[in-house]
Amino acid sequence: MTTEQPTDLQVAAGAATFHMLSSATRLRIVWLLVHAEYDVSGLAEAANVSLQTVSQHLAKLRLAGLVSSRRDGRHLYYTVDDPHVVTLVIEIFDHIAPDGSLAPDPEPRTPMPIRHTQRP
Could you tell me if residue 117 is inside a domain?
A: no
Task: Look at residue 115 and tell me whether its pLDDT is greater than 60.
Answer: no
Task: Look at residue 119 and tell me whether its pLDDT is greater than 90.
Answer: no
Find the mean pLDDT for residues 25-37: 97
Could you tell me if residue 12 is inside a domain?
A: no
Residue 31 domain boundaries = 17-95
Could you tell me if residue 72 is inside a domain?
A: yes
Could you tell me if residue 89 is inside a domain?
A: yes
Could you tell me if residue 8 is inside a domain?
A: no
Q: Tell me, what CATH number does 64's domain have? A: 1.10.10.10
Q: Which of 31, 33, 17, 115 has its CA nearest to residue 76?
A: 33
Could you tell me if residue 45 is inside a domain?
A: yes
Rounded Cα distance, 27 and 42, in Å = 16
Cα 83 from chain centre: 8
Q: What pLDDT is stored for residue 93 in this prediction?
A: 92
DSSP characters over the chain? ---SPPPHHHHHHHHHHHHHHTSHHHHHHHHHHHH--B-HHHHHHHHTS-HHHHHHHHHHHHHTTS-EEEEETTEEEEE---HHHHHHHHHHHHHB-TTSSBPPPPPPPPPPPPPPPPP-
Task: Look at residue 49 and tell me whether its pLDDT is greater than 70.
Answer: yes
Task: Look at residue 58 and tell me whether its pLDDT is greater than 80.
Answer: yes
User: Which residues sit opposite 77 in a β-bridge?
Assistant: 70
| Total domain count, the chain | 1
What is Dmax (Cα atoms) for the chain?
A: 71
